[in-house]
């Protein structure tokens, strides 16, 4: 069980693109040698901004809803696990439907893998590998009541995709957490990413 | 009725399960010539098998009721029933060989894992292939009435040859189950070792879901082997107790079949359907991401997922309806989160101003000569 | 003659760089360790704590060390993958000699005999000083101290210097002038208390990533961040004010700020009067440095300069950090002094949340520059030309004053002297001058002129390829010792595994050489790193860098001890200058005027574009280690030319196009990386590679007159678009290696079976 009073707080603004998280993720016991965290450049031409993405662990995960083999399960502690190996048939529904672009389907293996909050570490009281090593602490894993002391911004766990409301276990840091964060494609398309 | 109300069974899967169980019952009745060829010693097994049949069928039908599963199920069914089926047949045969029989996708995950799983899977299959016809009364062996040194095999109540007691044929017939048991025990042991070594599995596994099936399989196989041992070397000592124990473990395994991990055996063939679906989509082409322009989603999956989202009552239209959530590739979705967060930071007091104050103040480089 | 025996391709096939992609036994092996060793990262000056997992005498992975106070488990990608430098196919395990057929393994003792004979021959024929030692500060304090003693008493040469000369010497010289001591004024804990943070010439996010979090913690409490850099680095991207000045104009900016602080009366007069001297002269030097003048020199808008001065001047508390950007210049010391003047004028030093530091770059850049590793220095940061200091060290070492040589030449000057034929022999350890010194073609020529060249290294670095004899030395995790982090925290490095083959720690090799040279009496008692450290403690006693009260036990117990620590019951000194007490005899700090002068090379019609160079987060210094680690090479396989789209357009360059860059020293062809995050009059190349890919083919050997640091950060170049077939074969090879590393990952089996 991952303790309920611990949360994962993500602030892409702090990310320095060093890829420590990517390297460290591959070192953990669950999927040795293969990294489950994404680190993308926003657009290197314009800016050095980079975006770290771990699974947000939704309350009612869309990936699980669209999974034909009923392979994606959320445990009682709110962690959405990678597809169960005997069931996953590699159809990619989850990869294409996840609002945050998290799951990865490895072709050949016919198997979806994704960030599982380093369950082997967090279930025994450690921090996830990425949040432990992150030099800028863009990835922060602490007791939920400590965040207010550590951060100027506040955690938001509420997103809008189209008119779909998605609530998550992990949080993104914003100044005004009471309004859901609208992931409007206009930001990408009109903004000319 | 109250028990059923509590179980909250769905009517359609219930109907399907009932029909499947009836069909199996009919086949048993027919194959055993109205029950005449049923082995009374195996009646307990028969009842458990019928229950497992009901349970597995129920779960299977409710599984394909899931909107996402239905999408693939009907698609595969349509393909199978369409004229395209003939064309797809060789491909399906190859896929079935590769994925269901050889399980090559597990080999790609890891060779050792594949080895353990192959032992386990083929041991089980072999065991069921031998025992089920016996349980159903489709196959029986009796002593040849005239010649006590010969065995008589019966298929559907029809004599199907006889062989001498000490022959190779007899040895194989009576010990094939021992081989199956040895395979299953080896496969289970390897899996348990693997689970112990794997930090990830160690953290996420549950006794009832992941370990119990392995333990049960070992119990079934061990008691089966002990039966042979008792008969061969111990002059049948404890045979009765062992037979009872064996029956008990098998019945437990069969009763658990619909609920636990082993249900994936029935699910797995769906993978072949998915492979065909992907191939068709590939032929149709990939659509471009509306964020970055790179091709990513297969056209058929884009259509079907949108329909699926509708059924699930998810409205993924974005950007004033011109873009659907499914039109963005995973990378653009990830960038969008940071973009949305960055936009939210503007205006509010924060030290995270995204645009530097004086980022680009310099004129033409040639005028920079000192 | 030290020319290469084989072609570069043949050497690469034999000695790499090859990539280590996975832990020993592969990803599928059982990751359960036999033991876990608490130690530190082998790379930069932050010396992050890390735990190494050891199995069967091999390092098989790492665990974050969350209890270590500096980094609390945080690591950059180099730290995460540092363990892959062990168990490496390129590792040297035998002594080798260079023959016509390439490098051949040889008997250890024979290698020693030959080395000693050559040293003695050269010194007999050309004088003691004709044999030089060039060393490095990725070595522990013990090895750095020993290198100094070995050169002076073992080889009896004055010509010892180190690669810290390419790193923090400008900061060291500036600090000694202004404060009388050379160390970060504060521990990093003060950064997060500051209300304004000024970062000058430091790509913090990439070169000292862990420091990023300290800065962000301050910003979360409302601190403002000002970044001075010609490039928009990842930290600068979010800064409150970015000052992207023209390369080589840093002292113009600091002068301009001091001018405004005075004009607006934002001076802490009380502090200046009580604790400093020389302010009048400093003001006199900046009286004409108006915002208009500053703007003209730096290329920054007047309002940006005024805003910066306003924020800095009005701050309640502040922390100023600088690094190689301002130090790697022919006026590096001036730039450092300009920053210190800004700090002293506002009196914000020596208090909680008020501080100043250079971010030392190399692993032991701090400790390695304190104990006689420099050509003009003796242990405890003593001066080799000061009779009192000489007397004390002679008493510790048990030698006479005549035996102790005087001031030698600095690193670049030694290379110049080798080129000029004045120095005939060289012992090189922990240094890869072919990559890290400026004007690498010149360096190559110099190495080829050596009569005898012996090298201690664990991989055959590009410089080592020119050596006559190579001794295999120990990796960081194969020996114990101490090092001193950028904060001035002395930390303990613990041994995790034994050396493979004949390899052994550098200190053992130096001690054995000294014995064979007949100088054993000064070295025989060094039987362990701790024995060396205990002598270092005595030798540093009473110096500014006083380690007398530091013991191995105390370091482990306290997780590091800040020097000065004069007695064993002293807790160490995280914050210097408390109560305005500085280290000059009068207890006061000194303002040193920094009148403006331009860089040694400026742009002109022929070479119209500024070139600056630096690091990327995935590589460390000359890349001898990091260019051999698969993950790091996969992220950044080869150098590139960072160029602004407006400048790129002028030359018709698009992303990935081949561009020929030419300076007065040489030229190279690199792919263009077109980004808006650099000044349009400036281009940037990361410097971690060798040969045709070495940024230092282009840089000049201009030195700062005081610190003798080369001017890496300012050169003039011209560009020409060319075709991709002009890329060097090395570049294609690196691209291929990175591609293989990537596809290796995606095809890899899943996990422990």
Helix (H, G, I), strand (E, B), or coil: what is residue C454? strand
Matching CATH number, C8-85, of 3.40.50.300, 3.10.129.10, 3.30.565.10, 3.30.200.210: 3.30.200.210
* Ranges assigned E (strand) in chain B: 139-143, 150-155, 158-164, 286-288, 295-298, 317-318, 323-324
Matching CATH number, C185-358, of 3.40.50.150, 3.40.228.10, 3.40.50.970, 3.40.50.10490: 3.40.228.10
A22 touches chain B (CB under 8 A): no
pLDDT of residue C744: 63
Q: Write out the residue range of the structural domain in which residue B293 sits.
A: 286-345
For C162-176, the pLDDT digits (tens) are 999 998 899 999 999
pLDDT over 60 (residue B237): yes
Chains in contact with C, where contact requires at least 3 CB pairs less than 8 Å apart:
A, B
pLDDT of residue A108: 73
Chain mean pLDDT for chain B: 83
The fold of C609-746 is Barwin-like endoglucanases (2.40.40)
Q: Which of residues 173-232 of B touch C (CB under 8 A)?
A: 190, 194, 197-200
The pLDDT of C502-506, averaged and rounded, is 96
Task: Pick the more confident residue, A31 or C374.
Answer: C374
Q: Which of residues 105-144 of A touch B (CB under 8 A)?
A: 108-111, 116, 119-120, 123-124
pLDDT of residue C2: 53
B223 and B316 together in one domain: no
pLDDT over 50 (residue C416): yes
Q: Which of residues 89-148 of A touch C (CB under 8 A)?
A: 106, 108-109, 111, 127, 129, 132-137
pLDDT over 60 (residue B120): yes
A33:C748 CB<8 A:
yes
Q: Establish, for the pair of chains B and C, how many residue pairs have beta carbons separated by less than 8 Å.
A: 106
For C293-341, the pLDDT digits (tens) are 999 999 999 989 999 999 999 999 999 999 999 999 999 999 999 999 9
pLDDT of residue C31: 83
Chain C residues lying within 8 Å of A127, measured CB to CB:
66, 73
Q: Which of residues 3-62 of B touch A (CB under 8 A)?
A: none
Chain B residues lying within 8 Å of A31, measured CB to CB:
200
* Residue B368: inside a domain: no
The model's pTM: 0.90
Quote the CA–CA distance of B144 and C568 in Å, as a whole number: 98
Residue in chain C lying closest to A31 (CA): C751
- Please give the structure tokens belonging to residue A49: 């901004």
Neighbours of B265 (CB within 10 A): 16
pLDDT of residue B347: 47
Domain boundary pick from B241, B271, B301: B271
Substitution target in B330, B354, B356 with the highest count of A β-carbons within 10 Å is B330
Chain B residues lying within 8 Å of C750, measured CB to CB:
108-110, 113
- Of the partner residues C30, C605, C749, the one whose CB lies closest to the CB of residue B197: C30
pLDDT of residue B5: 55
B112 touches chain C (CB under 8 A): yes
C598:B370 CB<8 A:
yes
A135:C76 CB<8 A:
yes
Q: Which of residues 108-147 of B touch A (CB under 8 A)?
A: 108-109
Chain mean pLDDT for chain C: 94
Neighbours of B7 (CB within 10 A): 9
pLDDT of residue A60: 95
The pLDDT of A148-156, averaged and rounded, is 93
Q: Which of residues 235-294 of C touch B (CB under 8 A)?
A: 236-244, 246
Give residue limits of the domains in chain C.
8-85, 96-160+372-580, 185-358, 609-746
pLDDT over 60 (residue B369): no
Closest-CA distance of chain C to residue B254, Å: 28
pLDDT over 80 (residue C23): yes
How does residue B7 score in pLDDT terms, banded at 50, 70 and 90?
low
pLDDT of residue B353: 43
Quote the CA–CA distance of C91 and C95 in Å, as a whole number: 12
pLDDT of residue C748: 46
When mean pLDDT is compared across B39-43, C319-323, C650-654, the lowest value belongs to B39-43
- Please give the structure tokens belonging to residue C247: 């390369």
Quote the CA–CA distance of B30 and B52 in Å, as a whole number: 20
A34:C750 CB<8 A:
yes
A162:B345 CB<8 A:
no
Task: Pick the more confident residue, B343 or B365.
Answer: B343
A193:B277 CB<8 A:
no
Chains in contact with A, where contact requires at least 3 CB pairs less than 8 Å apart:
B, C
Q: Which residues contact B77 (CB under 8 A, 6 or more apart)?
A: none
Give residue limits of the domains in chain A.
6-189
Split into its structural domains, chain B has a count of: 2
- Partnered with residue C473 across adjacent β-strands are C504
The pLDDT of A85-90, averaged and rounded, is 88
Neighbours of C695 (CB within 10 A): 26
Neighbours of B84 (CB within 10 A): 13
Chains in contact with B, where contact requires at least 3 CB pairs less than 8 Å apart:
A, C
pLDDT of residue B4: 52
A3 touches chain C (CB under 8 A): no
Quote the CA–CA distance of C94 and C108 in Å, as a whole number: 8
Quote the CA–CA distance of A27 and C72 in Å, as a whole number: 18
Substitution target in A170, A187, A190 with the highest count of B β-carbons within 10 Å is A187
pLDDT over 70 (residue C752): no
- Of the partner residues C31, C304, C610, the one whose CB lies closest to the CB of residue B357: C304
> Is the Cα dihedral C719, C723, C729, C732 positive or negative?
positive
The pLDDT of B112-127, averaged and rounded, is 90
B339:A42 CB<8 A:
yes
Question: Around C605, how many Cα atoms within 13 Å sit in the side-chain half-sphere?
Answer: 0
C407 touches chain B (CB under 8 A): no
Task: Pick the more confident residue, C751 or C177.
Answer: C177
pLDDT of residue B268: 84
pLDDT of residue C365: 93
The pLDDT of A156-178, averaged and rounded, is 94
- Of the partner residues B190, B358, B364, the one whose CB lies closest to the CB of residue C301: B358
B182 and B220 together in one domain: yes
pLDDT over 80 (residue B87): no
- Of the partner residues C27, C216, C222, the one whose CB lies closest to the CB of residue A14: C216
Q: Which of residues 71-100 of A touch B (CB under 8 A)?
A: 81, 85-87, 89-93, 95-100
- Of the partner residues B204, B305, B327, the one whose CB lies closest to the CB of residue A93: B305
CATH architecture for segment(s) C96-160+372-580: 3-Layer(aba) Sandwich (3.40)
> Comparing C96-160+372-580 with C185-358, is the CATH topology the same?
no
C749:B366 CB<8 A:
no
Quote the CA–CA distance of A22 and C19 in Å, as a whole number: 18
Closest-CA distance of chain C to residue A163, Å: 32
Residue in chain C lying closest to A121 (CA): C63
pLDDT of residue B318: 79
A29:B200 CB<8 A:
yes
For C105-144, the pLDDT digits (tens) are 999 999 999 999 999 999 999 999 999 999 999 999 999 9
Closest-CA distance of chain A to residue B344, Å: 7
Chain mean pLDDT for chain A: 91
Chain C residues lying within 8 Å of B338, measured CB to CB:
none
B89 and B228 together in one domain: yes
Chain C residues lying within 8 Å of A142, measured CB to CB:
none
Q: Which of A44, A51, A43 is nearest to A16 (CA)?
A: A51
B93 and B175 together in one domain: yes
* Residue B334: inside a domain: yes
Quote the CA–CA distance of C641 and C639 in Å, as a whole number: 7
For C517-545, the pLDDT digits (tens) are 999 999 999 999 999 999 999 999 999 99
B215 and B192 together in one domain: yes
pLDDT of residue B32: 86
Chain C residues lying within 8 Å of A49, measured CB to CB:
234, 237
Helix (H, G, I), strand (E, B), or coil: what is residue C428? strand
When mean pLDDT is compared across B11-25, C420-434, C589-603, the lowest value belongs to B11-25
When mean pLDDT is compared across B206-210, C119-123, C367-371, C399-403, the lowest value belongs to B206-210
Closest-CA distance of chain B to residue A73, Å: 11
Quote the CA–CA distance of C699 and C702 in Å, as a whole number: 9
pLDDT over 50 (residue C350): yes
What backbone torsions phi and psi does residue C54 show, to the nearest 5 degrees?
A: -120, 135
- Of the partner residues A27, A48, A129, the one whose CB lies closest to the CB of residue C232: A48
A176:B264 CB<8 A:
no
pLDDT of residue C539: 97
The pLDDT of C389-397, averaged and rounded, is 97
The pLDDT of B87-101, averaged and rounded, is 82
The class of domain A6-189 in CATH terms is alpha beta
- Of the partner residues C62, C66, C234, the one whose CB lies closest to the CB of residue A16: C234
How does residue A93 score in pLDDT terms, banded at 50, 70 and 90?
very high
A12:B332 CB<8 A:
no
For B309-335, the pLDDT digits (tens) are 999 999 888 777 788 999 999 999 999
- Of the partner residues A45, A134, A150, the one whose CB lies closest to the CB of residue C220: A150
Query: B1: burial class by Cβ within 10 Å (0-12, 13-18, 19+)?
Result: exposed
When mean pLDDT is compared across A86-90, C39-43, C568-572, C704-708, the lowest value belongs to A86-90
* Residue B151: inside a domain: yes
* Residue B281: inside a domain: no
pLDDT of residue B235: 81
Chain B residues lying within 8 Å of C675, measured CB to CB:
none
């Amino acid at each position: 069980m991952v303790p309920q009073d611990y949360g994962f707080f993500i602030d892409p603004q702090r990310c320095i693109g060093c890829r420590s998280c990517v390297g460290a993720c591959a070192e953990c016991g669950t999927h040795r040698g293969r990294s489950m965290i994404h680190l993308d450049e926003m657009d290197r031409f314009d800016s050095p901004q980079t975006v770290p993405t771990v699974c947000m662990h939704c309350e009612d995960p869309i990936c699980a809803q669209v999974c034909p083999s009923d392979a994606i399960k959320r445990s009682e502690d709110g962690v959405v696990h990678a597809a169960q190996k005997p069931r996953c048939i590699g159809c990619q529904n989850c990869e294409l439907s996840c609002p945050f672009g998290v799951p990865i389907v490895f072709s050949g293996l016919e198997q979806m893998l994704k960030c599982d909050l380093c369950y082997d570490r967090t279930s025994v009281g450690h921090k996830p590998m990425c949040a432990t090593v992150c030099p800028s602490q863009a990835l922060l894993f602490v007791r939920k009541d400590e965040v207010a002391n550590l951060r100027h911004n506040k955690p938001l766990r509420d997103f809008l995709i189209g008119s779909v409301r998605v609530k998550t276990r992990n949080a993104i840091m914003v100044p005004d957490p009471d309004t859901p964060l609208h992931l409007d494609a206009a930001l990408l398309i009109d903004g000319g990413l | 009725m109250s028990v059923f109300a509590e179980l909250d069974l769905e009517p359609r899967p219930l109907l399907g399960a009932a029909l499947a169980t009836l069909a199996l019952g009919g086949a048993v009745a027919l194959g055993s010539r109205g029950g005449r060829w049923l082995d009374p010693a195996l009646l307990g097994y028969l009842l458990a098998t019928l229950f497992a049949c009901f349970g597995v069928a129920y779960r299977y039908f409710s599984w394909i009721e899931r909107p996402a599963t239905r999408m693939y199920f009907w698609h595969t069914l349509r393909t199978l029933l369409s004229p395209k089926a003939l064309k797809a047949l060789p491909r399906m045969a190859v896929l079935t060989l590769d994925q269901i029989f050889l399980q090559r996708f597990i080999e790609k995950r890891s060779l050792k894992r594949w080895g353990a799983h192959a032992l386990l899977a083929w041991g089980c299959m072999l065991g069921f292939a031998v025992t089920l016809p016996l349980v159903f009364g489709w196959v029986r062996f009796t002593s040849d009435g005239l010649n006590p040194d010969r065995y008589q095999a019966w298929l559907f109540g029809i004599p199907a040859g006889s062989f001498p007691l000490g022959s190779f044929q007899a040895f194989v017939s009576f010990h094939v189950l021992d081989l199956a048991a040895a395979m299953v025990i080896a496969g289970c042991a390897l899996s348990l070792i693997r689970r112990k070594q794997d930090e990830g599995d160690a953290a996420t596994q549950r006794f009832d879901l992941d370990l119990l099936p392995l333990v049960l399989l070992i119990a079934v196989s061990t008691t089966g082997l002990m039966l042979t041992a008792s008969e061969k070397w111990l002059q049948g000592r404890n045979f009765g107790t062992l037979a009872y124990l064996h029956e008990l473990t098998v019945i437990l395994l069969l009763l658990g079949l619909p609920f636990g991990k082993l249900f994936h055996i029935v699910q797995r063939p769906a993978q072949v359907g998915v492979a065909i679906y992907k191939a068709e989509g590939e032929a149709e082409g990939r659509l471009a991401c509306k964020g970055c322009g790179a091709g990513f989603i297969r056209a058929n999956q884009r259509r079907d997922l949108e329909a699926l989202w509708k059924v699930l009552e998810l409205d993924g239209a974005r950007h004033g309806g011109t873009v659907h959530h499914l039109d963005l590739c995973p990378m653009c979705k990830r960038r969008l989160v940071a973009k949305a967060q960055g936009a939210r930071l503007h205006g509010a007091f924060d030290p995270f101003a995204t645009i530097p104050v004086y980022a680009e103040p310099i004129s033409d480089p040639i005028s920079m000569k000192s | 003659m030290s020319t290469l025996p084989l072609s570069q391709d043949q050497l690469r096939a034999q000695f790499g760089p090859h990539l280590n992609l996975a832990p020993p036994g592969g990803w599928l092996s059982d990751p359960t360790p036999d033991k876990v060793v608490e130690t530190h990262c082998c790379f930069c000056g932050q010396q992050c704590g890390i735990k190494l997992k050891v199995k069967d005498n091999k390092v098989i992975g790492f665990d974050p060390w969350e209890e270590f106070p500096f980094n609390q488990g945080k690591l950059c990608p180099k730290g995460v993958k540092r363990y892959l430098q062990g168990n490496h196919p390129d590792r040297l395990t035998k002594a080798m000699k260079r023959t016509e057929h390439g490098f051949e393994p040889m008997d250890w003792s024979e290698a020693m005999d030959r080395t000693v004979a050559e040293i003695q021959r050269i010194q007999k024929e050309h004088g003691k000083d004709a044999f030089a030692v060039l060393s490095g500060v990725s070595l522990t304090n013990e090895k750095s101290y020993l290198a100094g003693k070995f050169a002076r008493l073992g080889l009896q040469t004055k010509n010892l210097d180190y690669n810290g000369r390419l790193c923090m010497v400008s900061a060291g010289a500036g600090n000694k002038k202004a404060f009388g001591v050379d160390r970060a004024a504060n521990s990093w804990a003060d950064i997060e208390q500051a209300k304004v943070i000024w970062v000058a010439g430091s790509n913090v996010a990439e070169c000292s990533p862990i420091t990023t979090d300290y800065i962000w913690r301050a910003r979360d409490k409302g601190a403002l961040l000002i970044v001075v850099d010609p490039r928009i680095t990842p930290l600068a991207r979010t800064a409150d004010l970015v000052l992207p000045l023209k390369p080589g104009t840093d002292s113009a900016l600091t002068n301009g700020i001091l001018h405004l602080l005075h004009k607006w009366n934002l001076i802490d007069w009380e502090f200046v009067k009580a604790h400093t001297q020389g302010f009048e002269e400093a003001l006199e030097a900046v009286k004409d440095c108006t915002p208009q003048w500053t703007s003209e020199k730096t290329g920054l808008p007047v309002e940006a300069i005024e805003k910066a001065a306003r924020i800095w001047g009005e701050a309640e508390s502040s922390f100023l950090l600088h690094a190689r950007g301002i130090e790697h210049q022919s006026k590096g010391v001036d730039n450092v002094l300009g920053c210190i003047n800004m700090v002293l004028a506002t009196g914000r030093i020596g208090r909680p949340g008020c501080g100043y530091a250079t971010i030392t770059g190399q692993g032991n850049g701090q400790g390695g520059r304190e104990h006689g590793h420099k050509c003009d220095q003796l242990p405890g940061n003593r001066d080799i030309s000061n009779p009192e200091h000489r007397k004390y060290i002679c008493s510790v070492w048990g030698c006479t004053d005549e035996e102790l040589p005087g001031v030698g030449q600095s690193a670049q000057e030694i290379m110049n002297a080798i080129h000029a034929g004045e120095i005939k022999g060289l012992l090189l350890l922990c240094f890869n001058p072919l990559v890290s010194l400026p004007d690498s073609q010149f360096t190559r020529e110099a190495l080829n002129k050596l009569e005898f060249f012996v090298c201690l290294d664990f991989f055959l670095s590009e410089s080592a390829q020119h050596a006559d004899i190579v001794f295999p030395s120990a990796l960081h995790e194969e020996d114990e010792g101490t090092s001193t982090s950028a904060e001035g925290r002395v930390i303990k490095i613990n041994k995790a595994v034994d050396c493979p083959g004949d390899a052994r720690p550098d200190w053992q090799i130096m001690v054995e050489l000294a014995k064979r040279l007949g100088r054993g009496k000064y070295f025989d008692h060094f039987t362990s790193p701790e024995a060396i450290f205990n002598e270092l403690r005595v030798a540093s006693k009473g110096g500014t860098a006083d380690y007398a009260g530091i013991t191995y036990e105390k370091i482990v117990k306290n997780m590091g001890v800040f020097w000065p620590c004069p007695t064993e019951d002293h807790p160490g000194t995280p914050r210097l200058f408390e109560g305005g007490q500085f280290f000059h005899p009068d207890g006061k700090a000194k303002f040193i005027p920094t009148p403006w002068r331009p860089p040694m090379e400026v742009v002109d019609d022929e070479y119209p574009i500024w070139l600056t160079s630096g690091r990327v987060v995935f590589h460390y210094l000359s890349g001898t280690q990091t260019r051999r680690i698969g993950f790091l090479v996969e992220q950044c396989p080869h150098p590139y030319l960072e160029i602004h789209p407006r400048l790129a357009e002028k030359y018709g360059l698009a992303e990935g196009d081949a561009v020929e860059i030419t300076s007065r020293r040489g030229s190279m062809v690199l792919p263009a990386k077109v980004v808006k995050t650099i000044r349009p009059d400036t281009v940037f190349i990361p410097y971690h590679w060798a040969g045709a890919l070495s940024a230092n083919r282009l840089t000049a050997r201009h030195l700062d007159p005081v610190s003798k640091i080369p001017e890496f950060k300012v050169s003039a170049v011209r560009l020409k678009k060319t075709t991709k077939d002009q890329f060097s074969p090395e570049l294609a090879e690196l691209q291929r290696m990175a591609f293989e590393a990537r596809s290796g990952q995606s095809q890899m089996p899943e996990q422990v079976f």
